[in-house]
Amino acid sequence: MKPHLISGIQPTGKLHIGNYLGSLKNFVALQNSGKYECYFFVADLHSLTEDFDPQEKPGQILNVALDYLSAGISPKKSVIFQQSSVPAHSELAVILNNFTPLGELRRMTQFKDKSESQSENVNAGLFDYPVLMAADILLYDAAFVPVGDDQVQHLELARTLARRFNARFGKTFIEPKPLLTSASRIMSLDDPLKKMSKSRPQGCLFLDDTPEEIRNKLKRAVTDSGREVKYDEQSKPAISNLLQIYAGIINSTVQEAESAFKNATYVDFKNAVAEAVIKELTPFQKAKKALKPADVKKMLSAGDKKAASAAEKKIAEVQKRVGLI
């Protein structure tokens, strides 16, 4: 039997190149490796922890599903589904809550960051977010979870919860390991000291951006002092970030990318990054335009059924372990 692999993306707006290089592009490679039984879902329940407009939510959910398919995730090779359509995610989160000390959640960097960035809406869902995420993973016996660097701490909690539950109730869960790409932390184009994030759109390159927008955004992207295209996160954070983007896009290492631009100016280098991104995204955008929303919705509900049948078995096992049935 192949090891299980799972990951999800929140439907909170357009995906950016950080989401792509840290997760989505890797999902496709991992799926196509044939080494895993893959589950990819739209993390819609997680997305309710931020301010949202219910009118926009269905479109945002559909958009993540479209992005999955356009990038090359295939329902023939992976189970693609919507988190909230499988109630076992919420059920397991409620059970796991009882084995999660508050102190462990208080330590979460993402909770601390979001408590500042959305200080008017520091809700219990935001605090409990990592427990729901642990439930997402543990429910499918996933051994591997491809994510960006910002989710590693949450994965650590999922491992801790699995271990704790197993120790008390007998072996029930697998301890999941994160799978990181070499571009697992892409920074903002306008400030290389801040992570590229949907909450700061001015620093994002979006997967739906037109070639014109991509060229302009890269032209305007901040650079560092000096002239050399060199990878050095300390003294050249902006150029290093662009090298990460370039290397991630063309599937090379930053060292190879650095040597390819040894004698290039910043302007030439930024142009080359823009053209590489455009070349990568053109087929993605074409595929996205060709997809019909009604077909994608059908595909999602078929995935929901497959995911639910795996999840229902696991939640029944958990309920039995804790004495509910």
Enzyme catalytic residues: 114, 195, 198
Indicate the residue type of 169.
F
Choose which of 5, 88, 196, 278 interacts with ligand TYM (CB under 6 A). Answer: 196
One-letter amino acid for residue 56 of the chain: E
23: left (phi over 0), alpha (psi -120 to 50) or beta: alpha
Q: Rounded distance, CA 110 to CA 116, Å? A: 10
Q: What is the phi/psi pair of residue 231, to 5°?
A: -85, 110
Question: By CB under 6 A, what part of segment 126-155 binds ligand TYM?
Answer: 133, 136-137, 145, 147-148, 150-151
Q: Residue 2: name the closest of 40, 28, 39 by CA.
A: 39
Q: Is 203 one of the binding residues for ligand TYM (CB under 6 A)?
A: no
Query: Least distance to ligand TYM from the beta carbon of 263, Å?
Result: 29
Give the per-residue contact string, 83-122, with ligand TYM (x = CB under 6 A; - = no): ----------------------------------------
Q: Of 23, 31, 49, 241, which lies in the binding site for ligand TYM, with binding defined by CB under 6 A?
A: 23
Per CB under 6 A, the segment of 4-12, 275-283, 289-297, 299-307 that binds ligand TYM is 4-12
Q: Does 217 bind ligand TYM (CB under 6 A)?
A: no
The shares of helix, strand and coil residues in the chain, as percent rounded to the nearest 5, are 60, 10, 35
- Region near ligand TYM per CB under 6 A, out of 164-172, 184-192, 264-272, 293-301: 184-192
One DSSP character per residue, 286-317 reads HHHHH--HHHHHHHHHHHHHHHHHHHHHHHHH
By the rule CB under 6 A, 8 interacts with ligand TYM: yes
The minimum distance between CB 8 and ligand TYM, in angstroms, equals 4
DSSP-assigned states of every residue in 137-160: HHTTTEEEEE--GGGHHHHHHHHH
Q: Rule CB under 6 A: which residues touch ligand TYM?
A: 6-10, 18-19, 22-23, 43, 46, 133, 136-137, 145, 147-148, 150-151, 184-186, 195-196
